[in-house]
Amino acid sequence: MSDPLKDKSIVLGVCGGIAAYKAADFLRVLVKAGARTRVIMTEAAQAFVGVATFEALSGESVWTDMFGGQDGAPFRHIAWAEEADAVVIAPATANTIGKMAHGIADDPLTTFILAVRAPILVCPSMNTNMYENPIVQENITRLERPGITVLRPEAGSLACGREGPGRLPDVGTIAEEVRSLLCPNDLAGEQILVTAGPTHEPVDPARFISNPSSGKMGHLIARVARRRGAEVVLITGPTALPDPLGVRGIRVKTAQEMFDAVIGAAEKATITIMAAAVADWRPANPLEHKIKKEEMAECLPLERTADILKTLGENKKSQILVGFAAETRDLQQNASAKLNAKNLDLIVGNLIGQADSGFGSDTNQVSLFYRDGRNEALPLMEKSALADVLFDRILEMKQK
Ligand code: CTP
């Protein structure tokens, strides 16, 4: 699966708050992801941002006037509602939230909302006092029901000069919430533990042993799992990547730290996917002070790190265990040997050393090796698409 937003029809409702200008940026994110977008603006929204901005970005005329002479006017609310795959209201003001909570339909946005069957994401944004007003809170709670998700505002400094909750979340965060609304919820109830990235094994305070893993594969697995409804813990070695939205991130440096974190979290996990490139060896005696280059050779005796996945395999009960095998040759033989040695259900084998596959790339070309001896060569695909295939196969395995 590519970006869940691709080719989806998303209707964006913009209300009259200072954050209305951020809605234009959000619209750009949707368009860039390949979504078909339509915009409905309340009258107050037009006092903050011009209709032309949204028309230019969406490539469609913006709906502003209930009885205006635009095409298909009398039934536009029905037609747009039927075509929508998801609806986002950002920013959502106290006024529109109040109307939605009580079924009032007196403008294009609230009329349209009553006809929508697709998932709706409401992103309240307003002054802290207004947000914390018990009536507004009651209305927000009333809205939270199947089909409507409320993305709570962030706390921070607001345009009115106050500090507190009320800020519209970052546009990337809103987009990720929409992706998760568009994805199947087929991993709901699963507790998924994912590891990602390399580990750093210190030689001295200035040097470490590591590998080129970027962490992208593990991070995307965690992200896709969360989009599909799982509760996700991501244990990641040093990477530049931020924790995916809605995922509990634990940052570690060394193989031993990763071992401790994984063992601590593994008990609860129903599915564990070890995508991290854990160092197999570490300096036996990391030094407190920087060693001089002339002394380096004598100072580098190595010792094995603990094999995390093997330990999990030895203690495996009903959980699904998935490993990764990065190989430069004899993929089937090496990957199958690791699957057996570590008591895994599935191992993802990839031949590294190609530009568009493996460490650091956005795409990957892998073969899946199963416990029963089957294997499946997958075509080159985006790492996020691979994460989806992986979960499809894991769910098939769980159904058997
Ligand atoms: N792994 C682990 N703990 C380690 C090393 C690896 O849990 N100390 C996990 C990796 O996350 C991956 C799988 O084991 O899922 C890789 O298996 P491994 O036999 O370690 O592969 P390589 O490190 O590539 O081994 P080799 O150098 O022998 O090919």
| Shared-domain flag, residues 289 and 328 | yes
* Among 151, 182, 213, residue at a domain's last position: 182
If you count DSSP H runs as helices and E runs as strands, how many of each does the chain have, helices first?
14, 21
**Which of the four pLDDT bands, split at 50, 70 and 90, describes residue 294?**
confident
| Cβ of 338 less than 6 Å from ligand 1 | yes
Contact residues for 259 (Cβ-Cβ < 8 A; gap 6+): 305, 306, 308, 311
- Look over the chain and give the mean of its residue pLDDT values, rounded to a whole number: 94
1 is a domain residue: no
77 is a domain residue: yes
**pLDDT of residue 354 exceeding 80:** no
Given this model, what pLDDT does residue 352 score?
A: 82
Q: Annotated catalytic, 160?
A: yes
Q: What is the pLDDT of residues 108-155, one digit of tens each?
A: 999 999 999 999 999 999 999 999 999 999 999 999 988 999 999 999
Given this model, what pLDDT does residue 400 score?
A: 79
Q: Any idea which residue has 């058997």 for tokens?
A: 400
Query: How remote is the CA of residue 57 from the centroid of ligand 1, in Å?
Result: 47
| Cβ of 278 less than 6 Å from ligand 1 | yes
239 is a domain residue: yes
Give dist(CA 114, CA 14) in Å, integer.
16
Here the CATH number for the domain that contains residue 171 is 3.40.50.1950
Residues in the chain: 400
| Cβ of 308 less than 6 Å from ligand 1 | yes
Given this model, what pLDDT does residue 69 score?
A: 58
* Among 127, 150, 182, residue at a domain's last position: 182
The token pair at 5 is 């937003």
* Among 150, 182, 214, residue at a domain's last position: 182
| Cβ of 259 less than 6 Å from ligand 1 | no
**pTM over 0.75, yes/no:** yes
293 is a domain residue: yes
Full domain range(s) for residue 309: 191-399
Domain count for the chain, please give it: 2
| Shared-domain flag, residues 319 and 212 | yes
Most informative mutation of 332, 338, 346 for ligand 1 (most atoms within 8 A of CB): 338
2 is a domain residue: no
4 is a domain residue: no
Give dist(CA 23, CA 274) in Å, integer.
38
* Mean of pLDDT values over 159-163: 82
CB count within 10 Å of CB 290 equals: 11
Q: What is the pLDDT of residues 218-273, one digit of tens each?
A: 999 999 999 999 999 999 999 999 999 899 999 999 999 999 999 999 999 999 99
Given this model, what pLDDT does residue 105 score?
A: 95
| Shared-domain flag, residues 238 and 177 | no
| Shared-domain flag, residues 155 and 115 | yes
| Shared-domain flag, residues 51 and 140 | yes
| Shared-domain flag, residues 168 and 272 | no
- Kindly give the number of the ligand 1 atom that is closest to the alpha carbon of 334: 29
| Cβ of 323 less than 6 Å from ligand 1 | yes
Q: Which one of the listed residues 15, 160, 183, 299 is annotated catalytic? A: 160
DSSP 311-324: HHHHT-SSSEEEEE
What is the percent of the chain where pLDDT is above 70?
98
Contact residues for 386 (Cβ-Cβ < 8 A; gap 6+): 217, 220, 364, 366, 378
3 is a domain residue: no
Here the CATH number for the domain that contains residue 360 is 3.40.50.10300
| Shared-domain flag, residues 44 and 75 | yes
| Shared-domain flag, residues 339 and 251 | yes
356 is a domain residue: yes
- Kindly give the number of the ligand 1 atom that is closest to the alpha carbon of 262: 7
CA 357 to chain centre: 21
Give dist(CA 272, CA 254) in Å, integer.
19
